[in-house]
Amino acid sequence: MSTLVIAEHDNASLKGTTLNAVAAAQALGADIDILVAGGSCDGAAQAAAAVPGIGKVLVADNAAYEHQLAENISLLVAEVGAAYDNIVAPATANCKNFMPRVAALLDVAQISDITAVDSADTFERPIYAGNVIATVQSADAKKVITVRTTAFDAVASEGGSATVEACGAVHDAGISAFVGEEVAVSDRPELTSADVVISGGRGMQNGENFKLLEGIADKLGAAIGASRAAVDAGFVPNDMQVGQTGKIVAPDLYIAVGISGAIQHLAGMKDSKVIVAINKDEDAPIFQVADYGLVADLFDALPELESKI
Amino acid sequence: MKVLVAVKRVVDYNVKVRAKADGSDVDLNNVKMAINPFCEIGVEEAVRLKEAGTASEVIAVSVGDKSCQEQIRTALALGADRGIQVETDGNVEPLVVAKLLKGVVDKEEPALVILGKQSIDGDNNQTGQMLAALAGMGQGTFASEVAIDGDKVKVTREVDGGLQTVSLNLPAVVTTDLRLNEPRYASLPNIMKAKKKPLDVYTPEDLGVTVTTHLTQLKVKPPAERQAGIKVESVDELVDKLKNEAKVIS
């Protein structure tokens, strides 16, 4: 049995989500190699080689893979993955983009967003926005799997010395091109890897009021998130959305401000270690999952909180 | 230019779905069904392309038993021109749906196929990408903006940390994210008109596809419950608890 983990990276470095995917791969009980596909991605490849317990790191370094275009990456992963029993990737926006394409090319199902490995062919995954956990069994000889990263503790990033070798042909499907990107530049940590997250909901009333979260976020080194209601209302961009259809987070501390606690939001944050809810509606469902609830007007509570931490 | 838009019949997003007590499946007795919200955004986008003069015809397709005709009619009421139902026994897996849609794509040869990024029942987020792979098309998933530009389509995508824009050769597949548009409500006259619009029914055999099963759902269970904690009386007490009890801030 052998497992290929697809690395999530930014060419220069390995993303932490890769370490969660490796943890899920370990649960499958097979030998693990990592594939790093990118452009000028030596930094990421070296970081992957330092992960303990990895057989080898396969590197496909070509301009065709620099921006992770699904049309090109999927051809590569299908080719390299042909020799493996399992192909595993973190369920990030990037891997969710190309992994189903890989599965279709290999004519197998994809098992999306697994939260537990019961055996080599049986997995748990949330459905219906996390209201239900399904146990599914795969009949495919080859398994294409994406991993809900918050459900698996990251493996160590240092201590290994895997061999690094080039792999795969250059696949450029020639049907898509990268035009540009607008990546939010921020000194704050990324939502999915932050130790502390503070999120605002519809109770924030407008986008301007999200500034009230910024001072607290700066003091705590927190990332700022939002509920779907706040995104739908146009307060903040969608990449801040925490929830079943947005980002899944599990920080040490999650502070929900003006968020009622719709199930689809809870699905995205209920694995946080400590949850704080600030809401003026004492019956809000968010209080049913909060370790510490404060029934208060957020416009009074936030400035006070900022001054006292 | 022809636009094909796929719609799925799912449990209404306001319904809180629960596992049956015996864990055999989810309890869907007498629950309200609706068009998947992301598919509705897809229909809206297709109709807007037609209203802008970019698309000449919008075809709504759904895979499922006869009841999914209701959601096809919803799409027709929102402005699609005609419908196609691919008749199957209940829900089939994303890979099979993608193969069936590929069959429809081969028949209709649309320049653009629009799907929701995921359905709110299975939460798989697979079908659009799989269809694109099978049809050899480029894909613009999680789209927040779609602009047709000659024989290409420029798609702005919601990615981790921001937005990415790609240019795809047509024909191409687009999957919708929340911010792409805000769907309209169907007017009563349009609902009446939709009843008269053509709706063709195909079987998987018509499309040369064998329905296969790759994944079996063994059981379902409710998610782990989280215990409610305590209510604090003041910001001071909150800060004290976080520092000295939970020890998550210093």
Q: Give the largest CA-CA distance in chain A.
A: 60
CA-nearest of A22, A9, A10, A41 to A160 is: A22
Chain B residues whose beta carbon lies within 8 Å of the beta carbon of residue A304: 235
Residue A209: strand, helix, or coil: helix
Cα torsion A191, A232, B126, B172 to 10°: value is: -110
The whole domain housing B197 covers 2-221
- Whether residue B166 and residue A179 make contact (CB cut-off 8 A), yes or no, is yes
B178 vs A173: which has the higher pLDDT: A173
Four-residue CA torsion sign, B127, A249, A232, A283: positive
Residue B58: strand, helix, or coil: strand
Supply the DSSP symbol for A154.
Answer: P
Chain B residues whose beta carbon lies within 8 Å of the beta carbon of residue A175: 136-138, 168-169, 172
Q: How many domains does chain B have?
A: 1
- Is residue A167 a contact partner of residue A4, using CB atoms and an 8 Å limit? no
A111: tokens are 């098992």
Determine contact: A53 vs chain B, CB below 8 A.
no
Output the domain CATH number for residue B42.
Answer: 3.40.50.620
Region B25-47: mean pLDDT is 95
Is residue B247, in this structure, part of any structural domain at all? no
Q: What is the CA radius of gyration of chain A?
A: 20
Supply the DSSP symbol for A11.
Answer: S
CA–CA separation, B91 and B155 (whole Å): 30
Chain A residues whose beta carbon lies within 8 Å of the beta carbon of residue B117: 245
CA–CA separation, A243 and A232 (whole Å): 13
B179 vs A25: which has the higher pLDDT: A25
Give, to the nearest 10 degrees, the angle between helix A93-106 and helix B127-135: 50
State the burial class of residue A152 (Cβ atoms within 10 Å of its Cβ: 0-12, 13-18, 19+): buried
pLDDT tens digit string along A1-55? 999 999 999 999 999 999 999 999 999 999 999 999 999 999 999 999 999 999 9
For residue B61, list its beta bridge partners. Answer: B6, B84
Q: Which of A98, A134, A139 sits opposite B214 (nearest CB)?
A: A139
CA A120 to chain CA centroid, Å, is 23
pLDDT tens digit string along B67-101? 999 999 999 999 999 999 999 997 799 999 999 99
Four-residue CA torsion sign, A257, A261, A262, A264: positive
Region A169-191: mean pLDDT is 89
Is residue B138, in this structure, part of any structural domain at all? yes
Residue B3 scores a pLDDT above 90: yes
Compute how many other C-beta atoms are within 10 angstroms of the C-beta atom of residue B14.
8
What confidence tier does B220 reach under pLDDT thresholds 50, 70, 90?
Answer: very high
Q: How far apart are the first and last CA of chain B?
A: 61
What confidence tier does A228 reach under pLDDT thresholds 50, 70, 90?
Answer: very high
CA–CA separation, A86 and A119 (whole Å): 13
Compute how many other C-beta atoms are within 10 angstroms of the C-beta atom of residue A208.
9
Residue A187 scores a pLDDT above 90: no
Chain A residues whose beta carbon lies within 8 Å of the beta carbon of residue B112: none
Residue B13 scores a pLDDT above 90: no
Q: Tell me how many residue pairs between chain A and chain B have CB atoms under 8 A apart.
A: 253
User: The pTM is what?
Assistant: 0.91
State the burial class of residue B107 (Cβ atoms within 10 Å of its Cβ: 0-12, 13-18, 19+): middle
Is residue B238, in this structure, part of any structural domain at all? no
Phi, psi of B89 (to 5 degrees): -80, 100
Is residue B242, in this structure, part of any structural domain at all? no
Q: Which of B94, B141, B178 sits opposite A231 (nearest CB)?
A: B178
Note the pLDDT of residue A276. 97
Q: How many CA atoms lie within 13 A of B54 on its CB side?
A: 18
For residue B123, list its beta bridge partners. Answer: none
Chain A residues whose beta carbon lies within 8 Å of the beta carbon of residue B18: 131-132
Region B138-147: mean pLDDT is 97
Mean pLDDT (chain B) is 95
Compute how many other C-beta atoms are within 10 angstroms of the C-beta atom of residue B161.
18
Is residue B80, in this structure, part of any structural domain at all? yes
- Whether residue B95 and residue A105 make contact (CB cut-off 8 A), yes or no, is no
Is residue B245, in this structure, part of any structural domain at all? no
Distance from CA of A125 to the nearest CA of B (A): 9
Is residue B233, in this structure, part of any structural domain at all? no
- Is residue A287 a contact partner of residue A264, using CB atoms and an 8 Å limit? no
Note the pLDDT of residue A257. 97
Phi, psi of B27 (to 5 degrees): -90, 105
Question: Over pLDDT 70: what percentage of chain A?
Answer: 100
Residue written as token pair 């007007």: A297
Give the length of chain A. 309
| DSSP string for B137-205 | -EEEEEEEEEEEETTEEEEEEEETTEEEEEEEESSEEEEE-GGG--PPPPPHHHHHHHTTS-EEEE-TG
Distance from CA of A177 to the nearest CA of B (A): 5
For residue B58, list its beta bridge partners. Answer: B3
